[in-house]
Amino acid sequence: MEYKHSVPQIEKQILAKLEHGYGVGLENATNDQIYKSVALIAREMMEQGCSEFMAEAEKTKTKQVYYLCMEFLLGRSLKNTLFNLGVENDFREALRQMGVKLDSLYDCEPDAGLGNGGLGRLAACFMDALATQRYPAMGYSLCYEYGIFRQKLVDGWQTELPDFWLPGGRIWMHEIPEKAVEVHFRGHVEERWHNNYHECIHKDYTTIMAVPCDMYIAGMDGKGVSRLRLWKSKGESFDMGLFNSGNYMRAMEQNAMAESITKVLYPEDNHPEGKSLRLTQQYFLVSASIQDIIRTHLFQYATLDNLPDTVAIHLNDTHPVLAIPELMRIMLDECGYDWDHAWDITTRTVAYTNHTVMKEALECWSQELFKMQLPRIYQIVEEINRRFCQQMHDIGVDGYKVGRMAPLNDGYVKMANLAVVGSHSVNGVSALHSDILKKTVFNDFYTEMPEKFTNVTNGIAHRRWLNQSNPELANLLTQKIGRGYIYDASQLKKLEAFKDDKAVLKELAEIKHHNKERLAAYIKKENNVTVDPDSIFDVQVKRMHEYKRQHLNALNILATYLWLKDNPNADFVPHTYIFGAKAAPGYYFAKQMIRFIYKLGQLINNDPAVNQKMKVIYIEDYRVTLAELLIPAADISEQISLAGTEASGTSNMKFMINGAVTLGTLDGANVEIHDSVGDDNMLLFGMTTPEVEILRKDGYHPEQIYYNNPAVHCAIDYMRGGVNGVEFGDIVHSLTTNDPYMVLADFDSYQKAQGRAVKLYRNPETWQRMCLINIANAGRFAADRAIREYADNIWHCKPVPSSTAPGTDAFATK
Q: Is 438 a catalytic residue?
A: no
Q: Is 548 a catalytic residue?
A: yes
Q: Is 733 a catalytic residue?
A: no
* Annotated active-site residue in 184, 516, 542, 615: 542
Question: Is the Cβ–Cβ distance between 706 and 716 less than 8 Å?
Answer: yes
3-class SS of residue 622: coil
Give per-residue burial for 195-215: e unless 16+ CB within 10 Å, then b.
eeeeeeebeebbebbbbbbbb
Q: What is the DSSP string of 532-548?
A: -TTSEEEEEES---GGG
Looking only at the bridges linking them, the beta strands covering 157-161 and 150-154 are: antiparallel
Q: What is the dihedral of CA 250, 255, 261, 265, to 10 degrees?
A: -100
Q: How far does Cα 126 stand from its chain's mean position?
A: 10
Looking only at the bridges linking them, the beta strands covering 225-235 and 137-142 are: parallel
Q: Is 542 a catalytic residue?
A: yes
Per DSSP, helices labelled H in 586-681 are: 588-605, 624-630, 651-657, 670-677
Angle of CA points 277, 282, 286, to nearest 5°: 145
For residues 45 and 227, give the distance between their C-alpha atoms in angstroms, rounded to a whole number.
13
For residues 579 and 538, give the distance between their C-alpha atoms in angstroms, rounded to a whole number.
9
* Annotated active-site residue in 548, 551, 623, 785: 548
Question: Is the Cβ–Cβ distance between 760 and 26 less than 8 Å?
Answer: no
Q: Is 59 a catalytic residue?
A: no
Q: Is 355 a catalytic residue?
A: yes
* Annotated active-site residue in 202, 229, 438, 543: 543
Residue among 599, 571, 582, 573 nearest 719 (CA): 599
* Contacts of residue 355, Cβ cutoff 8 Å, sequence gap at least 6: 118, 119, 316, 317, 361, 429, 647, 648
Residue among 596, 725, 618, 520 nearest 152 (CA): 618
Question: Is the Cβ–Cβ distance between 262 and 232 less than 8 Å?
Answer: yes
* Contacts of residue 271, Cβ cutoff 8 Å, sequence gap at least 6: none
Residue among 657, 685, 653, 692 nearest 669 (CA): 653
For residues 19 and 14, give the distance between their C-alpha atoms in angstroms, rounded to a whole number.
9
Question: Is the Cβ–Cβ distance between 642 and 547 less than 8 Å?
Answer: yes
Q: What is the DSSP string of 703-719?
A: HHHHHH-HHHHHHHHHH
* Contacts of residue 337, Cβ cutoff 8 Å, sequence gap at least 6: 304, 331, 345
- Helices (H) and strands (E) counted in the chain, each on its own, are 35, 23
Residue among 782, 784, 808, 799 nearest 85 (CA): 808
Q: Give the up-direction half-sphere exposure of residue 755: CA atoms within 13 A in the CB hemisphere.
A: 7
Per DSSP, helices labelled H in 230-374 are: 240-244, 248-259, 272-301, 307-310, 323-329, 339-349, 367-373
Helix (H) or strand (E) holding 525: helix 502-527
* Annotated active-site residue in 79, 355, 551, 785: 355
Question: Is the Cβ–Cβ distance between 163 and 146 less than 8 Å?
Answer: yes
* Annotated active-site residue in 414, 516, 654, 785: 654
Question: Is the Cβ–Cβ distance between 540 and 553 less than 8 Å?
Answer: yes
* Annotated active-site residue in 650, 662, 689, 736: 650
3-class SS of residue 456: coil
Which of the residues are catalytic? 355, 542-543, 548, 650, 654
